[in-house]
Amino acid sequence: MPVNYEQLRTQLKNAGQTLRLRHDAFNRAANQYETELRAEAENADLRERINAALAEKPETRCALPREEAIDTSHPLPPLPPVQIRLLACDGSQISPSRHDEISFGLINTAVVELIIHSGQTPRIITRTKLLPFDDLPSENLLGVQRDAAEKRFLAEIAAQTAHDITTFALTDGPLELFTDTPEMQGQDLLKAEYLEALMELAAHKIPAAGYIDRPRSDPVLRMLDLLRTGSAKEDKNPGADDSMLFSRLLAPGERSAVFGMNSRLNRDLGKDLRLCFFYMNIGRPGHPYISRVELPAWAAEESFIPDLLHAVLMEQCRVLGGHPYPFILHRAHESAVVTFAEKEEIKTRLLREMTTNGLTPPEKSNKQIAKDLIGDR
């Protein structure tokens, strides 16, 4: 028995008490932030004060108020009875492992096209790319490469579709490409391709939207900290996040005001592509569930787009009943995911190709062979 449950017993009891204290602190903080948000919504000099604070620390990551009041809650608009095209992309990867018979990497991306009110069967397009063996990326870099591949594929498919109906290009997760990691140094081509994909979607007037399920970031809280103290906290507010705040502000089905985002990465994107976001409560009465939706500034400025996106995403979430999540994003995930059996099949074919070319197929590492003996126990 590898886990020492006797040692763990006391720790679990203490953890329960700690979580209780954390929850209470969480609620007190939420009350305070809610009061502050409502008070700041009334202040005419809100934007000037934020700008003044940001002048000193321009790279502070926090939310930015836009035209509407920051405590605005928008009721769920009806979904118009017209055709709306949804394109959703997701990707999955095989990360190279030196313990496999052969270390190889692969990115699999899938786009699902669903036209609301069409009665048509959704279309699924997949793309599979084996990575070059002489330049296998690290796990983190491969994740970023996959993100970029998703956006490129989405933009490519979006460009090919007819532009006669309103179209949204959806992905799971933030739209922002996190490029501050050490692995991303020198990956300018990747960044450029990513940016190009966002620009291509914008050129076709197709709003890209990133859907974040159960977000744990706190840009609005950081904005309120900035207004209260003149500087945002360096670290994430412990135990508190924007979901906590907006689960109090938004009734089921409602969305928040659209916020801008201040960050170095976002400033690099240029005015039209800078990311904005809003929160939605996709839960039910007494059980709020907050998700965040990111979209580029040009789309946020078109008055109908946030409302239509709100209606579309709520409709998509409704399909999954008691555990709401956009149906099309789940289908994109299902279509893109590389299963263990598929990975094994690809590896077998690769080893066969090695044999065909006169090479002796290598074995797994001794460590992996030993692990496999234990199996899934």
Q: Kindly list the residues in this chain that would bind other proteins in the complex (CB under 8 A).
A: 114-122, 124, 318-323, 327, 330-331, 334
CB of 343 to other proteins, least distance (A): 17
Taking the CA atoms of residue 21, residue 25, residue 30 and residue 35 in that order, the dihedral angle to the nearest 10 degrees is: 140
Taking the CA atoms of residue 301, residue 304, residue 307 and residue 308 in that order, the dihedral angle to the nearest 10 degrees is: -120
State which residue, 130 or 320, has the beta carbon closest to other proteins: 320
- Distance (Å, whole) CA 304 – CA 166: 11
Residues 175 and 295 sit within 8 Å (Cβ to Cβ)? yes
DSSP, collapsed to helix, strand or coil, labels residue 99 as coil
State which residue, 259 or 327, has the beta carbon closest to other proteins: 327
Report the Cα 109 to chain-centroid distance in Å: 16
User: If 0-12 CB within 10 Å is exposed, 13-18 middle and 19+ buried, where does residue 73 land?
Assistant: middle
Residues 354 and 102 sit within 8 Å (Cβ to Cβ)? yes
CB of 167 to other proteins, least distance (A): 15
State which residue, 124 or 346, has the beta carbon closest to other proteins: 124
State which residue, 277 or 327, has the beta carbon closest to other proteins: 327
State which residue, 34 or 315, has the beta carbon closest to other proteins: 315
State which residue, 87 or 275, has the beta carbon closest to other proteins: 87
CB of 333 to other proteins, least distance (A): 11
CB of 330 to other proteins, least distance (A): 7
State which residue, 104 or 168, has the beta carbon closest to other proteins: 168
If one counts every other C-beta atom within 10 angstroms of the C-beta of residue 219, the result is 23
**For the chain, how are helix, strand and coil distributed in percent, rounded to 5?**
45, 20, 35
State which residue, 115 or 155, has the beta carbon closest to other proteins: 115
Q: Which of 108, 102, 190, 93 is nearest to 139 (CA)?
A: 93
CB of 88 to other proteins, least distance (A): 12
Residues 292 and 215 sit within 8 Å (Cβ to Cβ)? yes
DSSP, collapsed to helix, strand or coil, labels residue 25 as helix
DSSP, collapsed to helix, strand or coil, labels residue 131 as coil
CB of 271 to other proteins, least distance (A): 36
The type of residue at 174 is P
CB of 130 to other proteins, least distance (A): 23
DSSP, collapsed to helix, strand or coil, labels residue 62 as strand
Residues 351 and 101 sit within 8 Å (Cβ to Cβ)? yes
Q: Which residue has the tokens 């900290």?
A: 225
State which residue, 124 or 338, has the beta carbon closest to other proteins: 124
Dig out the tokens for 103 from the structure. Answer: 């270390």
CB of 108 to other proteins, least distance (A): 15
CB of 377 to other proteins, least distance (A): 23
Q: Which of 278, 170, 147 is nearest to 219 (CA)?
A: 278
